[in-house]
Amino acid sequence: MKKNTILQLKGIRKRFGETTVLSGIDLSIEEGEFITLLGSSGCGKTTTLRIIAGLETPDSGQVILDGADITALEPNKRPVNTVFQNYALFPYMTVADNIGYGLKIRKVPKPDIAAKVEEMLQLVQLEGYGSRMPGQLSGGQRQRVAIARAVVNEPKVLLLDEPLGALDLKLRRQMQLELKRLQKKLGTTFIYITHDQEEAINMSDRIAVMHQGVLEQAGAPNEVYYHPKTSYVANFVGSANILREGNAAYAIRTENVLMNGEPECTREAAVLEKSFAGGQLRILFQLRDGQRITASRYGLDADIREGGACRIGWRPEHAVEVLDDGQ
């Protein structure tokens, strides 16, 4: 079934002074989609989101929502809500008043607000917390209140700018799952920002990888991971090796680098370094021509000695040709 396009960015350009921050962003987003803008610091993610929210005006290009051009529409007239990284709750209002704030502004009758707030508390699994003050909550709980406060307004599109950035890793993982569950339940379109590739892969229907104001590739997580179009995308999502040979560049995932004994291991390499991180053994090799290749394995050790030599290789289908953007 073909879904409706809810939001379109068409040729969005933005400069701050002499600096071009967005150089022509084109992106179509479907209704109910969870799409993540992924990219390193300064690549233009927040600026893109602020343009969608109406907090920033593009120099050229259009923002189309539900078929209507909203490029010049005021922020508060857009059916869009934003959740920022540092959950700015009103500190002297209870959790319930924080969540109900948007409805109160819109003059929704009190009993309706109370019912809606109760529903939201259930949704973010904070039943019974309505009368607490924000200062009496953990970081994760506060962030859930911030999300409830945005969701209660039933926006067509929810913009989330690194909403889990301030949380520790364990809570972050837990909140990723909760947010994803919430999004599926509500069916709201989420445009989510992170610079954490693992978070993007875990949560998104689609990932849009940005680099220096350019949208390099948008696709499902497995598409971006297994079929990166550029060397930047290959390196950023899943940290692949980039091997340059002839006039071409190839992305080779660290887990696909074979060592010793396998028939594909036709290249001689020096073993520069072995390290252990995140449950994985990583081995850094240097090929005869000086290029470096990293291999990764689950396990604590491999029968390979630092300072020694080894034969490495990969199956031909695991060397994916990519456009070389020098990254």
Ligand X SMILES: Nc1ncnc2c1ncn2[C@@H]1O[C@H](COP(=O)(O)OP(=O)(O)OP(=O)(O)O)[C@@H](O)[C@H]1O
- H-helix segments, the chain: 45-53, 95-105, 110-123, 139-151, 169-186, 197-203, 221-226, 231-236
Q: In the bound complex, which residue of the shown chain has the CB atom lying closest to Mg ion?
A: 46
Which of Mg ion, ligand X, none lies near 41, with the C-beta cut-off 5 to 8 A by kind? ligand X
For binding to ligand X (CB under 6 A), which residues are involved?
Answer: 16, 21, 39, 41-47, 195
Half-sphere exposure of 214 (CA within 13 A, CB side): 8
Find the shortest distance in angstroms from Cβ 275 to ligand X: 27
- The residue among 49 and 312 lying less far from Mg ion, judged by its C-beta, is 49
Give, rounded to a whole angstrom, the gap between the first and last alpha carbons of the chain. Answer: 38
The amino acid at residue 221 is P
Q: Supply the DSSP symbol for 72.
A: T
Which of Mg ion, ligand X, none lies near 142, with the C-beta cut-off 5 to 8 A by kind? none
- The residue among 210 and 240 lying less far from ligand X, judged by its C-beta, is 210
Which of Mg ion, ligand X, none lies near 229, with the C-beta cut-off 5 to 8 A by kind? none
| 213 touches 207 (CB < 8 A) | no
Query: With CB under 5 A, what is the number of residues at the site for Mg ion?
Result: 1
- The residue among 86 and 174 lying less far from Mg ion, judged by its C-beta, is 86
Find the shortest distance in angstroms from Cβ 7 to ligand X: 18
71 binds Mg ion (CB under 5 A): no
Which of Mg ion, ligand X, none lies near 16, with the C-beta cut-off 5 to 8 A by kind? ligand X
Near Mg ion in 35-54, by CB under 5 A: 46
- The residue among 11 and 42 lying less far from ligand X, judged by its C-beta, is 42
Find the shortest distance in angstroms from Cβ 43 to ligand X: 4
- Where does residue 10 rank: exposed (0-12), middle (13-18), buried (19+ CB within 10 A)? middle
- The residue among 56 and 118 lying less far from ligand X, judged by its C-beta, is 56
- The residue among 33 and 161 lying less far from ligand X, judged by its C-beta, is 161
Q: What is the 3-state secondary structure (H, E, C) of 182-244?
A: HHHHHCCEEEEEECCHHHHHHHCCEEEEEECCEEEEEECHHHHHHCCCEHHHHHHCCCCEEEE
Contacts of 199 (CB under 8 A, 6+ apart): 36, 164, 172, 176
Residue 239: which of 228, 248, 249 has the closest Cα? 228
Find the shortest distance in angstroms from Cβ 42 to ligand X: 4
Binding region for Mg ion (CB under 5 A) = 46
